[in-house]
Chain A
Amino acid sequence: MSRIIVMTSGKGGVGKTTCTANLGMALAKAGQRVAVVDADFGLRNLDLLLGLENRIVYTALDVLAGECRLDQALVKDKRQPNLALLPAAQNRSKESIKPEQMKRLIKALTKVYNFILIDSPAGIEMGFRNSIAAAREAIIVTTPEISAVRDADRVIGLLEANDIKAVRLVINRLRPAMVAAEQMMSVKDVQGILSIPLLGVIPDDEQVIVSTNKGEPLVLEEKLSKAGIAFTNVSQRLQGEKVPLMDLSIQQESFFTRLKRLFGM
């Protein structure tokens, strides 16, 4: 049975699309057949992060309108043939598609793909409801910031109300040095407040911006960056492997060694 997972956060700009692109690519690298679905109609971005923006011919709306077949709309990644993108329409609003239509699309995808990642738009309105309509699992993406955590909590409540029980947490953009200085909530703090199982922690990494500039997900790099390793770990945990949390306190240790060096110890 295919895994249908919605990536959602409530708040915008916390890294939903980045997580979807990297997780989808990491799963595909691991040999899974993956479809990533952009549910952000009107403000699509998943194609950009995957570097597939120039290859879109048809969108999900064209499929629903009967103008093309589903396989014609799917953009297959040339770097990783296991990965396909179902693009959203950019020139239409979020109200242009209904939850029932979304369900039909996803159900058709389950025949071919065993992982379907749905990139939810920000907010809790129609676009969000569309994106969760067919999902059986959810990954909550949040950052250790008050507004992101609050919105995540709201979304968790909505998912529970919509009978999506398997909800797991990805904490994005953690800055270990700030946590060590007690100026940022720790992983434990955020997880304790939201009270859902932790799937992974992605450290704040400048390489994320570099990779989006190029349209190449971090997990495709030969020498993985910290964030790239973290995304790979998340994808492995998603497949049921037991991978320990990345040791993010290394940076903190390096600070202490720096301090020791300063005192000539």
Chain B
Amino acid sequence: MAIPLISDLLERFFGPAEDPHSRDDVKRRLKIVLAHDRLALDPQTLEMMRQEIIAVVSRYVEVDFDALEFSLATDQRVTALTANLPIRRIRPLGRGADQPIAPDAEAPKIELASQSEILAMDAEDSAAALKQFDAENPVSSDPIHAPLDIDRSGLDDEDSDADESLSDEVLSDEAESDASQSKENEPEKAVSQSVAEGADVDASEGAVKAVGTAKTDVTEPG
């Protein structure tokens, strides 16, 4: 009598430790699978919806792609699409009318990389769906990269304009270099004139050299 009771006790204390609470696992798995079953939405459509939502949100805020969650949940036989998109920071929008396009173009680039990471954790079929989605929409990704270059240059110009103290320094440097360049250019003109007049090849070469050294001097302080 004592032996079976001891084994029973041991099983009680050590048995459940091997497989703790499979009840929680089954509930979690069921909720996910039922949310998908009830919605009756194919994975491709769901994936497209997910990407579009992320794209729209990314236009206004910078989303933490490592922490974002996209899930279907059901309660009382009603299915809800829950998107948890942690915001890193709000995008600066106040600069100009054409400004928002630049950060917007950057975001999908990040998204596509980390998106595949998220999908790797997901079911294989949705990963395949993303590949298919990307394969089907190669055109949409190209225009995203195209305006990136254009707008970057616009962004740089604006930055230098906006920072007045910095731009002043740059301008003064440029003024100096312009001045030195014009000083050095004067003899060249003179020489070239003399070349034209006297056809002295050696003199013109020396003059060109002088201009070259003057130019290197100018670039150094800048």
A residues adjacent to B (C-beta < 8 A): 145-146, 149-150, 153-154, 156-157, 179, 181-186, 189, 193, 195, 258-259, 262
A189 B37 Cβ-Cβ under 8 A: no
B23 A179 Cβ-Cβ under 8 A: yes
B43 to chain A, nearest CB (A): 17
Partner of B37, one of A154, A195, A258, A262: A154
Known interface pairs A259-B12, A262-B9. Does A157 touch B27 (Cβ–Cβ under 8 Å)? no
Which residues of chain B come closer than 8 Å to A150, judged between CB atoms?
Answer: 30, 33-34, 37
Bound CA span A193–B77, Å: 8
Which residues of chain A come closer than 8 Å to B33, judged between CB atoms?
Answer: 146, 150
A189 B23 Cβ-Cβ under 8 A: yes
Which residues of chain A come closer than 8 Å to B26, judged between CB atoms?
Answer: 145-146, 185
Which residues of chain A come closer than 8 Å to B31, judged between CB atoms?
Answer: 193
A105 to chain B, nearest CB (A): 32
Which residues of chain A come closer than 8 Å to B37, judged between CB atoms?
Answer: 150, 153-154, 157
- Determine if B22 is an interface residue (Cβ-Cβ < 8 Å): yes
- Chain A residue with the shortest CB-CB distance to B20: A182
B21 A146 Cβ-Cβ under 8 A: no
- Determine if B94 is an interface residue (Cβ-Cβ < 8 Å): no
Which residues of chain A come closer than 8 Å to B29, judged between CB atoms?
Answer: 146
B76 A153 Cβ-Cβ under 8 A: no
A168 to chain B, nearest CB (A): 14
Which residues of chain B come closer than 8 Å to A193, judged between CB atoms?
Answer: 27, 30-31, 34
A195 B27 Cβ-Cβ under 8 A: no
Which residues of chain B come closer than 8 Å to A185, judged between CB atoms?
Answer: 23, 26-27, 30
Which residues of chain B come closer than 8 Å to A259, judged between CB atoms?
Answer: 9, 12
B18 to chain A, nearest CB (A): 11
- Determine if B136 is an interface residue (Cβ-Cβ < 8 Å): no
Partner of B23, one of A149, A157, A183, A195: A183
Bound CA span A195–B16, Å: 30
Which residues of chain B come closer than 8 Å to A156, judged between CB atoms?
Answer: 77
A182 B34 Cβ-Cβ under 8 A: no
Bound CA span A181–B31, Å: 21
Which residues of B181-221 have CB atoms within 8 Å of chain A's CB atoms?
none
- Chain B residue with the shortest CB-CB distance to A193: B30
Bound CA span A150–B22, Å: 17
Bound CA span A181–B8, Å: 14
B30 A182 Cβ-Cβ under 8 A: no
Which residues of B20-58 have CB atoms within 8 Å of chain A's CB atoms?
20-24, 26-27, 29-31, 33-34, 37-38
A181 B16 Cβ-Cβ under 8 A: yes
Bound CA span A149–B12, Å: 28
Bound CA span A145–B22, Å: 11
A195 B77 Cβ-Cβ under 8 A: yes
- Determine if B5 is an interface residue (Cβ-Cβ < 8 Å): yes
- Chain A residue with the shortest CB-CB distance to B38: A157
Which residues of chain B come closer than 8 Å to A181, judged between CB atoms?
Answer: 16
Bound CA span A156–B34, Å: 12
B23 A153 Cβ-Cβ under 8 A: no
A149 to chain B, nearest CB (A): 6
- Chain A residue with the shortest CB-CB distance to B9: A262
Bound CA span A183–B18, Å: 12
B76 to chain A, nearest CB (A): 5
- Chain A residue with the shortest CB-CB distance to B6: A262
Known interface pairs A182-B21, A182-B24, A183-B21. Does A146 touch B30 (Cβ–Cβ under 8 Å)? yes
Which residues of chain A come closer than 8 Å to B34, judged between CB atoms?
Answer: 149-150, 153, 193
A-B pairs with beta carbons under 8 Å apart, 21 shown: A149-B30, A149-B34, A150-B33, A150-B34, A150-B37, A153-B38, A182-B22, A182-B24, A183-B16, A183-B19, A183-B22, A184-B23, A185-B26, A185-B30, A186-B23, A193-B27, A195-B75, A195-B76, A258-B5, A259-B9, A262-B9
A-B contacts besides A189-B27, A262-B8, 16 pairs, CB < 8 Å? A146-B33, A150-B33, A150-B34, A150-B37, A153-B37, A153-B38, A182-B16, A182-B23, A182-B24, A183-B19, A185-B26, A185-B27, A195-B75, A195-B76, A195-B77, A262-B9
A129 to chain B, nearest CB (A): 18
Bound CA span A154–B30, Å: 12
A41 to chain B, nearest CB (A): 27
Bound CA span A189–B22, Å: 13
- Chain B residue with the shortest CB-CB distance to A149: B30
Bound CA span A248–B33, Å: 29
